[in-house]
Amino acid sequence: MTDLTRRRFLALTAASTVVAGCTDIAADTSPVVHAPGSSPATTTPRRTPKPATSPPPAPPPAKLQANELGQLPVLMHHRLVTSSAGAYDQTPDFFRQELERLYRENYHPVRAIDLARRDLTAVPAGKTPVVLTFDDSTPSQVAFDSAGRVESDCALGILRGFHARHPDFPAVATFYVNRNPFGLSGAAVPQALVRLTALGCEIGNHTWSHPNLHTLSRAEAEAEIGKLAAMVRGATPASPCGTLALPLGVHPRDSSVLARGGRGSTAYRNLAVLLVGANPSLSPYHRDFDPMAIPRIRCSSHRNGRGPLEFNYWLDQLATRPGLKYIAAGNPAHVTAPSSLRQSLAPGLADRAIWWN
């Protein structure tokens, strides 16, 4: 496990305080409108329609303890099984408990591609971005019924059910798929990919056949990545794969093959590579953020595995270590952080920075 003491973080003097956004309780000052022929004495005032303007300004950064140079969890999931058999498995109940904890602790799901593009502008004030990733595209992750609806007991169904109860927790995730994703074949494959994209999820590249990339030649590794990229682009041309999760967590001998390769229909470009293990990610605005090596925290409920320890350990760390956690300021045009972190800002962002304290 990574030694966090090697990481730079700020010791803030006060505990984090999350302040909810203000409710619009402005007085109704609209003029009274009379229907033709009606008497003014019997006409009641109408509520002013809520104007389609920007939301109220975010609370001050110091009040939020805003820290957009802090760290955030990228969570790695595999199969959902009712009886956990392997160190990468988790039960549906464990996944539900994970969502409950994330929501309770003010996390806000985004996709891996958002992290790769260094765009966390959608994260509301006081929230911490979290990326939910799923590897290997098993049917336990995404399944549709005969009417094309998402099955309620697959991972996506559980996530969507949670979102229905908590609309401020988006049902978005990144699915790292292989050939025959989710156990599908033929026309069902592009239909599922189109559907997933329409639901706001990201389709990521996990290679065609899930090989150990280190054992392959460059041309073979390129073919593995390019063939999968072609399958996704064929289904969703506007949303080609833009991120890749390493099968088995193993790098190819020449890592440059991960970023781009192929030709024609198999041409691909990945803005980010996701690892297997084992700690939170740096903020994409941090100068040391490396999109080609994004760490992930394993989520598993296997009794003999270390999954629950990894997930709970790191969420405990983010909850309790002052200054460690990314906390959004709710000011999308800017990067807001304590002034003591000035030296940690990535190059090119100085014009967008807001420092407090």
In the bound state with Zn ion, the residue whose beta carbon lies nearer, of 247 and 323, is 247
Number of residues in contact with Zn ion under rule CB under 5 A = 3
- Residues within window 161-190 making contact with Zn ion, judged by CB under 5 A: none
Residues found in the chain? 357
Q: What Cα–Cα distance (Å) separates residue 130 from each residue in 144, 281, 343? A: 25, 10, 24
Least distance to Zn ion, CB of residue 136, Å:
4
Binding string, residues 101-140; x marks residues near Zn ion by CB under 5 A = ----------------------------------xx----
Judged by beta carbon, residue 87 or residue 349, the one nearer Zn ion is 87
Q: Which lies closer to Zn ion via its Cβ, residue 247 or residue 261?
A: 247
Closest CA to 338 of 262, 288, 283, 265: 283
Give the residue with the Cβ less far from Zn ion, 2 or 209. Answer: 209
Q: Would you say 141 and 182 are in contact if contact means Cβ atoms under 8 Å apart?
A: yes
Name the segment binding Zn ion (CB under 5 A); options: 26-34, 59-67, 247-255, 332-340.
247-255
Q: Which residue is nearest to Zn ion (CB)?
A: 135
Least distance in angstroms from the C-beta of 338 to Zn ion: 38
Give the C-alpha separation, 312 to 76, whole Å: 13
Asked if 105 and 312 touch (Cβ cutoff 8 Å), the reply is no
Angle at 204 between CA 201 and CA 206, to 5 degrees: 145
Minimum CB–partner distance for residue 285 and Zn ion (Å): 29
Q: Measured from the CB atom, is 102 or 245 closer to Zn ion?
A: 245
DSSP letter (8 states) at residue 44: P
Shortest Cβ distance from residue 178 to Zn ion (Å)?
Answer: 8
Per CB under 5 A, does 89 bind Zn ion?
Answer: no
**Interior/surface letters 240-272, b for 16+ CB within 10 angstroms, e for the rest:** bbbbbbbbeeebbeeeebbbebbeeebebebbb
Q: How far is the CB of 339 from Zn ion (least distance, A)?
A: 42
Instruction: Determine contact, residues 24/56, Cβ cutoff 8 Å.
Output: yes
Binding site for Zn ion (CB under 5 A): 135-136, 247
